[in-house]
Amino acid sequence: MTTAEQPILEVRGITKRFPGVVALNNVSAQFMPGEVHAVVGENGAGKSTLMKVMVGAYRPDGGEIIFRGEKVAFAHPKEAQEAGISIIYQEFNLLPDRTVAQNVFFGREPSRYGLVNQRELNQKTVEVLRELGAENMFQPTAPLHTLSVAEQQIVEIAKAIAFDSKVLIMDEPTAALSMTEVQLLTDLIDKLLERNLAIVFISHRFREVFDLSQKISVLKDGQYIGTLKTAETDANEVIEMMVGRPLDSYFPGLATPEEIGAVKVSVRNGSNDFLKNINLDLCAGEIVGVSGLQGSGRTELAQALFGVEPFHEGTVAINGKALQVNSPTIAIRNKMGFVTEDRKAEGIFPNQPIRDNILLTVRTLQALVKRISRDGVTGQPNLVSDLSHQVDVRASSSDQEVQYLSGGNQQKVVLAKWLASTAEIFIFDEPTRGIDVEAKAAIHEMIRELARRGAAILMISSELPEIIGMSDRIIVMWDGTIYGELPSGATESEIMKLATGHSNGNANGSNSE
Amino acid sequence: MSELTTTNNGPSTWQRFAARARSVNPIYVIMILLLLGVGYLNPRFLEVNGFLAFLRRAAPIMILTAGQLYVLVSGGFDLSVGSIVTLVVIGGALMIDNDPANTWWVILVLLAGGVVVGLVNGFIVAYLKVPSLIATLGMLLVLRGAGLYWSGGAPRGYLTDNFRIFGRGNIENLPLVDKFPYAVIVLAIVGILATYLFHRMVYGRQLLALGDNPRAAKLSGVRTNRVRILAFVISAVSAVIAGILLGGFSGVNIEAGTGLELQAISAAVLGGAVLLGGSGSVPAAMAGALALELLFALLNLLGLPKPLRDAVQGLIIISAVAYAALGTRRSK
């Protein structure tokens, strides 16, 4: 299959910095025509950033991109597309109310007398679809929103063909597809390889990585680790490369057995639209880490426990009492707290002062016509300043609107909000995402301190060092289920094996579906 | 209060004064300037009785604005209030049926009707997820149609004196002021209650949180539907009270409430309320309503024709929203 010796696309020493992080550090890779090249790595390893740098969505801070033997610097993905590099994001870039043909030739419709020539447009679309062997699947005149996800993906690919692309980049192309649809994509990719395209794809699903690719490149923390020939490696080796790094050492100690107390939350056979057969116990004094890849059901588990998207089936008991937690209000009344993943959308009230942010949850437990105490609650008139001290919010005064605080300080305000409510069961979803190292360590210390005081804690994180450093017990989610449980001291590769749908000793990819 | 980790070494007295001056809502300055302007052109206006008479006239729109503020802060609009005012005036006259003995139960029925309209508005917005602009616009048409159908298209009946006393009557023979309008007493009571509920009670804080970030409010335990519906009820009840005052002041008229909803929204926006929710103040919104009335009085004294009111109002809404949009963009 591989005929040309020259790479069609090559990156050399690419570096990309964002405020506070180096997303890509001196990354180099070569992509050959007629070859499928998978790029793998943990969440945040820099895969998507690298793709975006290649098509000009981001401008690199260093390094160069060589396309067809020439140095290029695209200012916009559109320029890259015109030059012959197309990218298909997880979220398709299509117009749902336009037809298939209008989408395929969007912005370049054949025209006659200044009007779009519909007949030629549809004709040309059929030709493109024929090349993909998909001309019988749907009409060029079908409105896009009537197509399935898999069919829409074909439209995206057809669009790339219509641009005569030489390189096609796909970000998680199989994430939303069923098994049969994945087979369809596999056939399609064979057609594309016949055209001598280079295909680059990002995936978390090892099965597809091994089924589809000829080469696998591994990124980790923005560093290029290496490239392997798929035929000469196995899942274990790839996982080792993805996670093999020393543990960061700034975590507080784990719980001693005496510190772990009674069961506070107990879920049996919990299921809803996103989750299947969840069995889970959370004990006082214990931090349970939840690992899993994006879309594995981690956040959905938190939302089910907290009543945002409740379990439809199964039982939940809090402190031994069976309950239907059907709304956050019920959860809060049973002393639960939820520090959400998306601070901006779900945590803070940007236009309100710090004090009202901190006091909101405790106020939801009061009558609507109760007189407020400005800086606290009855009996604790200085609650705001006490908590601000405790979590160390850096602000000029508690009058300051939260929108003007840094991410770390906003997170501390959110934390203080739940401390004010005297919760005893805490769910943390990505508690340290997007905040600096110092604030991170402070928040880790606070979470552990809560556990020491007898709180039960469920901590979701996509950062494996955080999971390993903080958790007294680790559960790993995959495909809406708790796929496995590991004791503290588990290694990153053990976690990754479960998170990618492998059980131990089942290296090359069959999943349990 | 400022036991937080302070980042500067204590502001000087002047800095503190400047900060304080900046934090004063500009609507109060605008209001005072307009007051002086009107007083300059018509000195009688600055006398106690002249001013009280003006407050009496402004009371309905100020009350309406206080209610509207609750809905605006929740992130919605209530366009139905003008029609509620009209219906109160028309329906009040028809139900009283020229018998002063009927006045008291009619007032109770009108207030109860306000609660029902507010509940329906709130229910449609909170549970059926209809945007409030559309829901209350629909309610505006429903109530207007109902009023016209009920009255047969022309004002019928009279409001009895004991009904009209709230809008136009005075307590006579008082020391110092000679006479004091009932409407101003109603205004003061409503103003204080609305301010207290919004600024000093749990409900106000939950409403602000809901308007600022509905998703976060829900996840923090705010019962968002309940809080939202209550805002519509408060707005509708304030419209009933405004209607009772306005009917008293100017009698039965099938156009009594036309356009008042937009006037209330512009007034609240003048007072610093942010359209789309999350920020606002009851006293400032009421000051905005007073400022708007003063502006109309000023335009009137300057001999500008009445239709200019509408144009001025439109300009206020556009500039206030544009200003707010610029502000939020800059802060990002």
> What pLDDT sits at residue A133?
83
Strands (E), B93-228: 170-174, 178-181
Contact B281, B271 (CB under 8 A): yes
**B contact test, residue of A362, A364, A426 with most B CBs within 10 A:** A364
Residue B8 inside a domain? The answer is no
pLDDT tens digits for range A59-95: 999 999 999 999 999 999 989 999 999 999 877 888 9
- Sign for the CA dihedral angle at B176, B181, B185, B188 comes to negative
CB contact under 8 A, A349 and B221: no
Residues of B with CB below 8 A from A310's CB? none
A371 with B200: Cβ contact below 8 A: yes
d(CA B296, CA A507): 80
Q: What integer pLDDT is reported at residue A506 of this predicted model?
A: 39
Query: Residue A206 above 90 pLDDT?
Result: no
d(CA A472, CA A448) in angstroms, rounded, equals 10
Q: How many CB pairs under 8 A join A and B?
A: 127
- Interatomic CA distance for residues A71 and A54, integer angstroms: 12
With CB atoms and an 8 Å threshold, state whether A351 touches B203.
no
Interior angle at CA A68, CA A62 and CA A74, nearest 5? 45
Residue A35: pLDDT over 50: yes
Q: Which two tokens stand for residue A344?
A: 């901006």
Give the least confident one: A399-403, A503-507, B267-271: A503-507
Q: pLDDT by residue (tens digit) across A118-177?
A: 899 999 999 999 888 888 888 999 999 888 888 888 899 999 888 889 999 998 887 667
Q: Which domain holds residue B306?
A: 32-331
| pLDDT, tens only, A236-294 | 788 878 876 444 446 888 888 888 999 999 999 999 999 999 999 999 999 999 998 87
Q: Are A69 and A205 in contact (CB under 8 A)?
A: no
pLDDT of the residue at A511: 39
Q: What integer pLDDT is reported at residue A188 of this predicted model?
A: 87
Which comes out higher in pLDDT, residue A40 or B114?
B114
- Pick from A153-167, B21-35, B207-221: least confident: B21-35
pLDDT for the residue A91: 76
Q: Do B216 and A359 touch (CB under 8 A)?
A: no
The DSSP 8-state label assigned to residue A376 in this structure reads B
Q: Which residue of A has its CA nearest to B2?
A: A397
Structure tokens at A205: 């699903």
Task: Rounding to the nearest 10 degrees, give the CA dihedral for residues B322, B324, B330, B332.
Answer: -120
Residue B26, in any domain of the structure: no
Q: What pLDDT, on the 0 to 100 scale, is given for residue B3?
A: 41
Contact B221 A369 (CB under 8 A): no
Annotated domain spans of chain A:
9-243, 260-335+423-502, 351-422
Cα–Cα separations (whole angstroms), residue A460 to A278, A294, A317, A383, B64: 15, 11, 21, 28, 48
Residue B60 lies in a domain: yes
Q: What is the pLDDT of residue B192?
A: 97
Percentage of chain A exceeding pLDDT 90 = 49
Ranking A284-298, A373-387, B146-160, B196-210 by mean pLDDT, the lowest is B146-160
Is B117's pLDDT higher than 90? Answer: yes
Rounded to an integer, what is the distance from CA B13 to the centroid of its chain? 37
User: Which residues of chain B lie closer than 8 angstroms to A404, CB-CB?
Assistant: 331
CB distance B4–A393 less than 8 Å? yes
C-beta separation of A80 from A74 below 8 A: yes
Mean pLDDT, chain B, as a whole number? 88
Confidence of residue A443 (pLDDT cuts 50, 70, 90): confident
For B219, which residue in chain A has the nearest alpha carbon? A328
Q: Identify which of B4, B205, B215 has the shortest CB distance to residue A385.
A: B4
pLDDT score of A512: 38
Round to whole Å and give the CA distance between A157 and A161. 6
**Structure confidence at residue A438 (pLDDT):** 66
CA distance A95 to A149: 13
Contact criterion met (CB < 8 Å) for B218 and A328: yes
The DSSP secondary structure of A415-459, one letter per residue, reads HHHHHHTT-SEEEEESTTTT--HHHHHHHHHHHHHHHHTT-EEEE
Average pLDDT, chain A: 87
* CATH number of the domain within which B197 lies: 1.10.3470
**Same fold flag, A9-243 and A260-335+423-502:** yes
Q: List, for residues B268-290, the tens digit of each pLDDT value.
A: 988 888 888 899 999 999 999 99
Domain covering A9-243 assigned CATH 3.40.50.300 in the classification: yes
- Residue of chain B nearest A342, judged by CA positions: B216
SS3 breakdown of chain A: % helix, strand, coil, rounded to 5? 35, 25, 40
**A225 residue type, one letter:** I
* CB A429 within 8 Å of CB A338: yes
CATH 3.30.300.20 fits A260-335+423-502, yes or no: no
Could you tell me if A501 and A479 are in contact, meaning their C-beta atoms sit under 8 angstroms apart? yes
Inform me whether the pLDDT recorded for B126 exceeds 90: yes
- The residue type of B106 is V
Q: What is the C-alpha to C-alpha distance for residues A386 and A338, in angstroms, rounded to an integer?
A: 21
Q: In this structure, is residue B24 part of a structural domain?
A: no
Q: In this predicted model, what pLDDT tens digit does every residue of A411-434 receive, in sequence order? A: 899 999 999 988 999 999 998 876
pLDDT tens string B52-94: 999 999 999 999 999 999 999 999 999 999 999 999 999 999 9
Q: What are phi and psi of B174, to 5 degrees?
A: -90, 150
Nearest-by-CA chain B residue for A347: B216
For chain A, what percent of residues have pLDDT higher than 70? Answer: 93
Residue appearing with tokens 């036991």: B3
The closest CB to that of A389, out of B3, B203, B209, belongs to: B3
Is B15 inside any structural domain?
no
pLDDT value, residue B8: 46
Q: Which of B202, B205, B212 is closest, CB to CB, to A367?
A: B202
Mean of pLDDT values over A492-505? 77
Q: Which residue has the higher pLDDT, B193 or B5?
A: B193
* pLDDT on residue B238: 98
Closest residue in A to B5 (Cα) is A394
Residues in B lying within 8 Å of A, measured between beta carbons: 1-8, 197, 200-206, 208-209, 212-213, 215-223, 227, 230, 274, 278-279, 331
- CB < 8 Å to A340, chain B: 216, 219
Sheet with A287-291, edge to edge strand ranges: A336-339, A425-429, A456-460, A287-291, A473-478, A481-487
Q: Is A128 left (phi over 0), alpha (psi -120 to 50) or beta?
A: alpha
Do B221 and A398 count as a contact with CB atoms less than 8 A apart?
A: no
Q: pLDDT value at position B325?
A: 62
pLDDT at B231 over 70: yes
User: B306: how many CB neighbours lie within 10 A of its CB?
Assistant: 9
Q: What is the mean pLDDT of residues B235-244?
A: 97
pLDDT for position A437: 62
Q: What is the pLDDT of residue A1?
A: 45
What SS3 string covers A287-335?
Answer: EEEEECCCCCCHHHHHHHHCCCCCCCEEEEEECCEEECCCCHHHHHHCC
Quote the ipTM score. 0.87
What amino acid occupies position A103?
A: N
Helix then strand then coil, in percent of chain B rounded to 5, is 75, 5, 25
Query: Contact, A80 vs A54, CB < 8 A?
Result: yes
Q: How big is chain B by its Cα radius of gyration, in Å?
A: 21
Cβ-defined contacts of B294-302 (< 8 Å, 24+): B294/B31, B294/B34, B294/B35, B294/B37, B294/B38, B295/B34, B297/B38, B297/B45, B297/B54, B298/B34, B298/B37, B298/B38, B298/B41, B301/B38, B301/B41, B301/B42, B302/B41
Q: How many domains does chain B contain in total?
A: 1
Distance from CA of B4 to the nearest CA of A (A): 6
**A28 SS3 class:** strand
